[in-house]
Structure 1
Amino acid sequence: MRPYFGIQALLIVTLTLSPVTAAAQIDNDATGEDIYPPLWDRAPENLLDFLVKDKKIVINAWNYRERMGMYKNLLNSSAKYFTAFGSQNFGNILWGLPLQHGWQFRTGRLADPSSVTSCGYEDGDLLCISVRSWWSCMNYYLAVIPFLGAVEAGLFGQLQYEIEILPPEERRDDFCYSVTDCRSHIPKLMDKWKAYFEYLLSTEHKAGSPATFSSFKVDDALGLMWRAHVASIAYALPKFQDSLKYLSDPEADFGEDWANAVDFIAATHFSTDLQTTNQFQAFLPQRMLTEGDVLPSISDFSPQQNRVLLSLTALHKANQLTGGLLLKIWQKAMSTEAGRKMGRKLMEELASSQKFDPVGMYNDLKGVDLTAFSFLRRSSFNSD
């Protein structure tokens, strides 16, 4: 009974625990440059800062500075909708995207993992983003597609030039390169990102006073944004499964664990503003994982980083062993604002609490009898 009890305890904690706030925080001084992604000040901040050729704005999404420029334009053009949520656009929930991309760049995850080229390395083209990188290909669908969705929604107004994204040297068929191209190949994904930006645009007319440009519930905006975010990952994950072969086993496992965890994070409507994202990313590994890395005892990682990585592994394993039922139960628990608030606090607890034991939970998962979940399936989904 002990293996089943471990899973049952996890579910009880997930659904009912009201944990303490995370003790480990980053002191994000509003004047400190380290709160921004690397080279943020060098990224193009206006669409016309990109190359304009043959009446087209041409963007090289395989250059870190230019891909970051797409994010910067999204942040700048949507800033007016977030004036009620803090100064300097820090409350904008799109910050999670460029900050995550900056973490990938800083930790070497955008460089050529096959080492066949010098793409992404200091002794080569440091700003090059490799198409052989699993992380960079996954991120394409969280950079180019949101950007083109915003273009289609009208976030940038009426553009005098068409947007064209340059293709990589390899795997050209795995990507799309314009609003028309992406609309024809991935219409449902484009719809989800377009819906988020259309929601922002629609709030202009709901402003309660002249001092406030727009009025909306952040929870609603986060719901639409995360819906598009998980759709991007779900579409890209099987497409780039073969790229994991270039990574060490620990790094490949971490990538898949992270992709699985995003579904759980998204269900809580986790706030991806500047400060919250920076606090959360402090727990992510500061370098690529190598074959010698064994959790939870990676010597140059903090205890919190080791704990978070092992927690992600345990979460992924639990979801696999239950055939995805754990995620469904979690999503059901997160279906109300109160539930989502509790879920966000639980995430903080997983990262910071000394009481949470991912090693024990991971060991409990071995040999779980899946039939033990049949009653949970019936009770959770046959009644509301």
Structure 2
Amino acid sequence: MCVILDMHAPLFVLLAAIALQPAAVVSLTHKDAFPPLWHLAPGNIKDYSMKDNKIIIDAWNYEERLGMYKIMLNHSSKYFTAFGPNNVGNLLWGLPLQHGWQYHTGRLAVPPNTTCGHGSGDHLCISVQSWWGCMNYYLAIIPFLGALEAGFFGQIKYPVEMLPPEELREDFCYSVSDCHSQIPKLMDEWKAYFEYLLSAGQTPASIKLDDALNYLWKAHVASIDYALPKFKNRLKYLSGPETNFGENWANGMEFIAATHFPTNLWNTNEYQAFLPPRLLVEGDAIPFIGDFSPEQNKVLLSLCVLHKTNEFTGGAFLAFWRMAMSTEEGRAAGRSLIQLLISSGSMTPDAVGIYKEKYVTITILKLANAGSLCHVGNHFSVDKSTATEAIQEVCLVIQDILANHFICLINLQGVSAASAA
């Protein structure tokens, strides 16, 4: 069975998997905007327990892990006053909101035959066997310890340590010194983000949003790249469809990161509403999952198409997308496209007039017809000739973005990209 996207499916659904029809935009209340139990999470390092003259954080408790995000947001609020009132413009919102979605949808509770994370047991428990929970460890604890190492929280009287899980302790690190000895490069990436904020000193308004996003997304992608192979063995606890979604999600983050997408409170909430509201189970056939909205189905399909296309090109698809997004102009164009697709139902030229509707339509249709994409059983077969032609169309769009200072080289064996001589 071939899956064909409708004629109005926009390019960004493929590239970032979060394009929405205007009627589908969700209106959020103030309460809905925050992660579940946000008001109960610790907001100060002093709120955590003490033992043997050490501050101990249970990173396997949802509220305590959420509290680390809250502390980082509180301490960084002054740097984002120019981007919205009440800290709504803080770029760190993407992390706790994603964690809240994982909690709300049961992704921290697997496997299902345990009490950890389930309503009938300890609903705040994060399972050490949860792929999502383990991946998130490197997007929660490592940023927090990176901030701590950077001195972002000021003088802390006592050392801070994470409480190890009861099993599989060797998969994690637990303090600044421990993590720096195990994963120094990753710690340095997160430390660099917080040091950049600190560099503003007494003039937080001097923070440049694109620079901050560069540091943040670089660290974010580094965490995913490190954790993805490390926790491959946790995927066995998930269904086939959920496993595929998790891997597709990780790949999609690489594309979104390249645009320096601003992960503030409202942007993250708006797009996250179209992620799956529960774990995928055997028998879920995207894009025809009955209890998911059309937009949620489309996002799942789009992430799958994006991942498979990148695999088919040996990663070159992502490489030339990154090249296109290597300038402020290119990134601004990508973000402008996102906003245009959200605010209007049809494709129109963006502010600098670089997008062509024919490229959008042809590219999506050809990629959708390149094979039997993500149907029952998530089997993927590809007609290389059709997929190659589709990727060439994407290349043309990117070439437009860079005003022809970019050359796409493509053949049936793969795709490569190079700057024009």
Distance 1:13 1:129 in 2: 33
SS at match of 1:361: helix
CA positional deviation for 1:65: 0.3
User: Given the alignment of the two structures, is residue 381 of structure 1 paired with residue 399 of structure 2, yes or no?
Assistant: no
2:117 partner SS: coil
Which of 124, 127, 132 is the matching residue for 2:129? 132
2:143 alignment partner in structure 1: 146
Matched, 1:123 2:120: yes
Q: 1:115 to 1:28 in 2, by over 3 A?
A: closer
Quote the residue 1:368 is aligned against: 384
The alpha carbon displacement at 1:11 in A equals 12
Q: Secondary structure at the match of 2:161?
A: strand
Cα distance in 2, alignment partners of residues 68 and 260 from structure 1: 24
Matched, 1:166 2:163: yes
The alignment yields a C-alpha RMSD, in angstroms, of 2.8
1:103 & 1:54 partners in 2: Cα distance? 34
Percentage of matched positions with identical amino acids: 58
Aligned positions of 1:1-384 closer than 5 A: 23=22, 24-29=24-29, 32-111=30-109, 113-205=110-202, 207=203, 213-347=204-338, 361-365=367-371, 366-369=382-385, 375-376=409-410, 380-383=417-420
Alpha-carbon offset, residue 339 of structure 1: 1.3
Q: 1:311 to 1:12 in 2, by over 3 A?
A: closer
* Separation of aligned partners in 2, 1:50 and 1:197: 22
Q: CA deviation at 1:380?
A: 2.9
Query: In the TM superposition, what is the alpha-carbon distance from 1:338 to its structure 2 partner?
Result: 2.1
User: What is the CA–CA distance in structure 1 between the aligned matches of 2:61 and 2:415, rounded to whole Å?
Assistant: 50
Q: Is the 8 A contact 1:14 1:330 kept in 2?
A: no
In 2 relative to 1, CA 44–371 (structure 1 residues): closer, same or farther, beyond 3 Å?
Answer: closer
Distance 1:250-1:74 versus aligned 2 partners, 3 A rule: same
Greater shift, 371-380 or 72-81, is seen at 371-380
CA–CA separation in structure 2 for the residues paired with 1:156 and 1:194 = 12
Q: Secondary structure at the match of 1:380?
A: strand
Looking at structure 2, the residues matched to 14 and 333 of structure 1 have their Cα atoms a distance apart, in angstroms, of 17
Judge which range, 116-125 or 174-183, deviates more.
116-125
Is residue 85–residue 91 contact of structure 1 (8 Å, CA) maintained in 2?
yes
What is the letter of the counterpart of residue 58 of structure 1? I
In the TM superposition, what is the alpha-carbon distance from 1:325 to its structure 2 partner? Answer: 0.5
Q: Aligned partner of 2:90: which letter?
A: N
Structure 1 unmatched runs, 5+: 1-5, 208-212
- Measure the CA separation in 2 of the matches of 1:354 and 1:339: 21
Q: 1:304: Cα distance to partner?
A: 0.8
- Is 2:214–2:260's contact at 8 Å kept on the other side of the alignment? yes
The separation in 1 between residues aligned to 2:188 and 2:329, in whole angstroms, is 28
Contact 2:10 2:341 in 1 (8 A): no
**Cα distance change on mapping 1:114 and 1:203 into 2, 3 Å:** same
Amino acid at match of 2:308: K
C-alpha displacement of 1:371? 8.1
More helix by share: 1
Secondary structure (helix, strand or coil) at the match of 1:57 reads: strand
TM superposition shift of 1:222:
0.5
- Whole-Å separation in 2 of the counterparts to 1:155 and 1:346: 35
**Structure 2: tracts of 5 or more residues without a match:** 348-360, 372-381, 393-407
Cα shift at 1:362? 3.2
TM-score (norm 2): 0.81
- 1:292 is displaced (CA, Å) by 1.5
- Give the residue type in structure 2 aligned to 1:375: L
Contact 1:308/1:350, CA 8 A, preserved across alignment:
no
SS in 1 for 2:160: strand
Q: Which amino acid aligns with 2:296?
A: Q
